[in-house]
Amino acid sequence: MVRERPPGRAACVGPARILIVTDAWYPQVNGVVRTVSRLTEELRAAGRVVAVVGPHLFRTVPCPTYPEIRLSVLPGRRLARMIEDFRPDALHLVTEGPLGLAARRWAIRNHRCFTTSFHTRFPEYIQARTGLPTGPAYRFLRWFHGAAALTLVPTPSLLRGLDDRGFRHLECWTRGVDAERFRPGRTGCDWRARFGVDGPYLLYVGRVAIEKNLTAFLDLDVPGTKIVVGDGPDRVGLAARYPDAVFTGYLDGADLSAAYAASDVFVFPSLTDTFGLVILEALASGLPVAAFDVTGPRDILPPGVSPVGAIGPDLRRNVLAALHGDRAMCRAYVARFGWDACARMFLDAITRVLPDTALHLPSHGGTATDSMR
């Protein structure tokens, strides 16, 4: 669990103590982890006491077909003790895995209000990997979120899709980007020199897995060099299949920022994402975006062709159009997305649904709370 810090001021509107339960946490690298991490930082800066319960606090087993993800084994009793010792004013469940299920069960049994967020289209992921229909998985997700006072959804188009599937109590909660970390810069020139390949540089950043639809990008007949930044179960196979592409593996920090700054177009081929934080990182780096007109890109980018990129059914045409984008306008366009605004939206939403009585519970000695710090 993330270390608890004291609030910066004595009084605040809304919940003072917030407990976030997530099956996706470090050392995993994905948009869910980045979102929860930045949200936690911003909430603490706003004077809240925030703790995050992750799978590293429990015995875990590898997720089938994705061993990098660890699933908690029988976390119920220990998690209940953690919740009761922390005494949260607000309880938020990020994921629908073992920890999310255990926290949901505790809240219902104890008649406590809780909120959830919808981050991942697991039904489509399962279908891409196994060919199974999406219906049963969506029924499970509808059941899981149906008990929440509110479910936060990253984009309007996803909200409409979930509403059509019978989900209720939905509200949009957008994402942010660190515009200081991701920005145009001279480091891009050094990064280009490392590889010595021909431009233009066409960049993808993210998990290298079947659900990301990477072959739609790698099969494109377009000038330049395709660069894939990230890791995942399909990286070795795709690197062998596409020897002309550059597969860097996982990058972070200055190396990741330089990869964005060095490139000419950011290509986002996914059809199943719920948002796409990497789109914001690319735009902040002055990088026009080419993507399909689907949930995520259509909620971030203007329709059709624009100075900040191109979205539509033809990915090749979108890439060629994005090569003529305006890097300065990309940077200006993303200014509306800040992590501070993201945290304010979250706090406003959970405050509105909190009952007058917070989750005040008797303490059981502090040993579980100590493990959170």
Domains of the chain by start residue, with CATH? 17-176+339-367 (3.40.50.2000), 187-336 (3.40.50.2000)
Q: Are strands 309-311 and 246-249 parallel, antiparallel or unpaired?
A: unpaired
C-alpha 265/C-alpha 288 separation (Å) is: 5
Query: Rounded to 5 degrees, what are φ and ψ at 208?
Result: -100, 90
Q: How far is C-alpha 270 from the chain's CA centre? A: 14
C-alpha 191/C-alpha 242 separation (Å) is: 21
Helix or strand or coil: residue 340? helix
Q: What is the pLDDT along the chain (373 residues), one digit of tens a residue?
A: 333 333 333 345 789 999 999 999 998 888 999 999 999 999 999 999 999 999 989 988 888 777 778 888 889 899 999 999 999 999 999 999 999 999 999 999 999 999 999 999 989 988 888 889 999 999 999 999 999 999 999 999 999 999 999 999 999 999 999 999 999 986 666 777 777 778 899 999 999 999 999 999 999 999 999 999 999 999 999 999 999 999 999 999 999 999 999 999 999 999 999 999 999 999 999 999 999 999 999 999 999 999 999 999 999 999 999 999 999 999 999 999 999 999 999 999 999 998 743 443 434 333 343 335 3
Q: Where are the alpha helices (DSSP H) in 178-251?
A: 187-195, 214-218, 235-241
Q: Which residue has the tokens 């509105």?
A: 352
Q: What is the pLDDT of residue 218?
A: 99
Say which residues have a Cβ less than 8 Å from residue 357's Cβ, sequence separation at least 6. none
- Supply angle C-alpha 26, 370, 5, rounded to 5: 70
C-alpha 342/C-alpha 337 separation (Å) is: 8
C-alpha 333/C-alpha 219 separation (Å) is: 30
Task: Copy the structure tokens of residue 220.
Answer: 């494109």
Tell me the DSSP string of 52-108: EE-GGGS-EEEETTEEEEEEESS-HHHHHHHHHHH--SEEEE--SSHHHHHHHHHHH
C-alpha 316/C-alpha 324 separation (Å) is: 14
